[in-house]
Chains A and B, each alone.
Chain A
């Protein structure tokens, strides 16, 4: 029998949790997946827990997914977004959070544009903290749901080949995915234009390719990331059109490989840029399963952390 509780009180990043933690989260998520496919999708586990969702940066999927997960566990939920709050009046992060906590909140789910913001909070406050994305650092719940979805398709990920395509430099999803997949024993490759791949990424134990076709030939799973136009302070690529030409994945390219490949995308998709519509909607794609699994995995994380004070 594996672990029965997490080694940590917070989920700040995949870097800080163990392989056993990941496996416990997956086993618990299996049970929650069964729960959310019932006619009545709710369990009373967290009925005495209050959770604050603090979103200092925009989000649709992650925010709805967390909120659904919390509500299906019967937790009380308060939502907060930076655009409509006192943050605009100059309040510090710590003051904002301490004010919310003095209203007796047990857990905090936070997305913040500054890398390390959740770690900073964890050092100063008592509640369980879940990182829902901090700048270009980590997005642990996305990596866990990605790996959970891969495990559903392929079984144990030990020795499986996963390639991550696109803007690796700005992507917190890429970094968390690399940590998670390496901990589970998978082989990882990153592929994209040289300007969007960090210089020393090889030190994380991943392979690097600048050729989409080569990388697709190599991998069992292609996790395709979005080109983050909002984080491009300088021109990393000459044009979107040129990016699509060299790094876009389309049906013709997949057909030329003549093999089964799983296509994933954390969303939101720029249709016609990194993925063409005929690939995003094809039988290769498990993009919508990822979204469904997101709720189950987040329920598992909330459940396990709530038991850990």
Chain B
């Protein structure tokens, strides 16, 4: 990894997840009409963590949780240099009239979120959609999309690359900023 700098350490990382969970509880109470949808792949790692922790706090009531793949909805298909490979969709419930909490790891240009909102429509008409992201790169947006629940805000140049590492996949919870893009 080139010139990486840690911007969120493990102990703070856990605190941030904890805070985001409590923000959700404040808003959605017992989650009887809400559901969590993680965007494949990075968003799912975050959504897994949020869902697991929320379930511990809320207890008995089961919180609906789904995984959404946006590969077929991307607007850069056939124009990007790297090929796309699809992941699975796992949404076992209807989102009709539900409050959807969309979870992604990094909110950057906003294009993934736009694709996710198009994809979501195919599972019903949600009552509302809110967005949660671990990292909000707020000065790099291409579309008018904002984050409702944010882990940390990062003001970085377009050339920089922000990476969220998860204990489940990389052994350590940490957010990196890398000066040059990896590809």
Contact = CB atoms under 8 A, between A and B. Distances in A.
Nearest to A29: B86
A38 B91 CA distance: 11
A226 B31 CA distance: 56
Instruction: Report the interface size class on chain B.
Output: 20 to 34
A123 B172 CA distance: 52
Interface SS of chain A: loop
Interface string B54-71: 000000000000000101
A44 B72 contact: yes
Interface of B: 69, 71-74, 77-78, 82-89, 118-119, 121-123
A34 B78 contact: no
Nearest to A304: B83
29 contacts: A4-B82, A4-B83, A4-B84, A4-B85, A5-B83, A27-B85, A28-B86, A30-B88, A31-B71, A31-B72, A31-B86, A31-B88, A34-B89, A38-B122, A38-B123, A39-B122, A40-B121, A40-B122, A43-B119, A43-B122, A44-B118, A45-B71, A45-B73, A45-B77, A48-B78, A49-B78, A306-B78, A307-B77, A307-B84
Contact of B89 (A28, A31, A306, A308): A31
A30 B82 CA distance: 21
Q: In this complex, which of B83, B88, B89 has the most chain A Cβ atoms within 10 angstroms of its Cβ?
A: B83
Contacts of A27: 85-86
A303 interface: yes
The 5 closest A-B pairs by CB, nearest first: A5-B83, A43-B72, A40-B122, A31-B86, A4-B85
A35 interface: yes
Nearest to B72: A43
Given A40-B122, A307-B78, A34 B88 contact: yes
Contacts of B77: 45, 306-307
Contacts of A31: 69, 71-72, 86-89
A27 B88 CA distance: 9
Interface residues of A, number: 24
Contacts, number: 52
Contact of A44 (B69, B73, B83, B86): B73
Given A38-B123, A306-B78, A307-B78, A43 B73 contact: yes
A73 B71 CA distance: 12
A45 B122 contact: no
Interface string A83-126: 00000000000000000000000000000000000000000000
Contacts of A4: 82-85
B118 to A, nearest CB: 7
A40 B72 CA distance: 14
A309 interface: yes
Nearest to A30: B88
B83 A303 contact: no
A75 B84 CA distance: 18
Given A40-B121, A43-B122, 12 more contacts: A4-B84, A31-B71, A31-B87, A34-B88, A34-B89, A35-B72, A43-B73, A44-B72, A44-B118, A45-B72, A48-B78, A309-B78
